[in-house]
Amino acid sequence: MPLATRALAFNAVCLYVIAYLLTIVLHEGGHAAMALALGDHPVLYSTSVRTTSAHLTNLDHVLIAAAGPVLSLGQGLLLLGWLRQRRPRSSWGLFGLYMGLFGLINFLGYLLIAPFVAGGDTGQIVARLHVPAAAVWVVAALALATLVLAIGRTGPLLLGVLPVAEQASPEARTGGLRALVLWPWLLGSVALVLLALPAPHPAVVANMVMSPMVLRRAYATGQRAPVQPTGALGLPRPQWLLGAVLVLVAIGFRWLALGVAL
């Protein structure tokens, strides 16, 4: 692997893991914010929220469970919509792209796993509202189709991170897209599981299962896409500050696992 590609992979892995950890925390923050709005005093953890009030109604619990996925959906639509207008051209742009991808994957992923994970957000909603099993399966199938289609359309955005000269070279394009998709998923998944131990969050498990499928689609569309206009210089050197930020975010994530009463 050329030195520039290794540097790009290092930077991408750091941004990938930071973006995913922040997505999970924002997701849980959505649950906590809704609980607070309903008069509860929840305890926020890095991968869950515990309500403390015995007076919450069934509808309250549904709203709290729905708040996290809805926040993730907003995150995905907002960032991906913005980046379609302003192509990612820097570390910040790539970070925003990963955040947008994870927001969408998180929301649609919860719809997809609803038939299988009763304790997940959507599983709880299904149980509390007594949603018919057939409807749950139909929604899961639609979520899968939407996920593959939507993530596939981000391939040109990933390609646009690379300088034009690299996009024009088949070998350099392949190496660059692998650095942006393959290595972040492989190394990032290991890091995410380790950070989520002893009980990995359902979203982390879903990420490991679904990401190869949907990111492969983004990789494939990036390979076929024409050269993208870009002002990017690429990320040719390791940005060690990203490594330091990753360590700090990981420490904060593990600290939040102890719980913060709100």
The confidence score (pLDDT) of residue 176 equals: 86
163 vs 60, higher pLDDT: 60
Share of residues in the chain with pLDDT > 90 (%): 42
Sorted by where each begins, the domain ranges of the chain are 3-26+71-256
> What's the pLDDT tens digit per position in 184-233?
888 888 887 787 777 666 666 666 666 666 677 888 888 888 888 765 55
CB 104 within 8 A of CB 68: no
Tokens of 228: 């993208």
Average pLDDT, the chain: 86
pLDDT of residue 235: 58
Is residue 18 predicted with pLDDT exceeding 90?
A: yes
12 pLDDT more than 80: yes
| Choice among 8-12, 68-72, 87-91, 125-129 with the minimum mean pLDDT | 87-91
pLDDT score recorded for residue 137: 96
- Is residue 123 a contact partner of residue 71, using CB atoms and an 8 Å limit? no
> Over the range 174-183, which residues count as b (16 or more CB within 10 Å of their CB) and which as e?
ebbbbbbbbb
Q: Tell me what pLDDT residue 126 has.
A: 94
Give 135's Cβ-side CA count (13 Å radius). 9
CA 58 to chain centre: 29
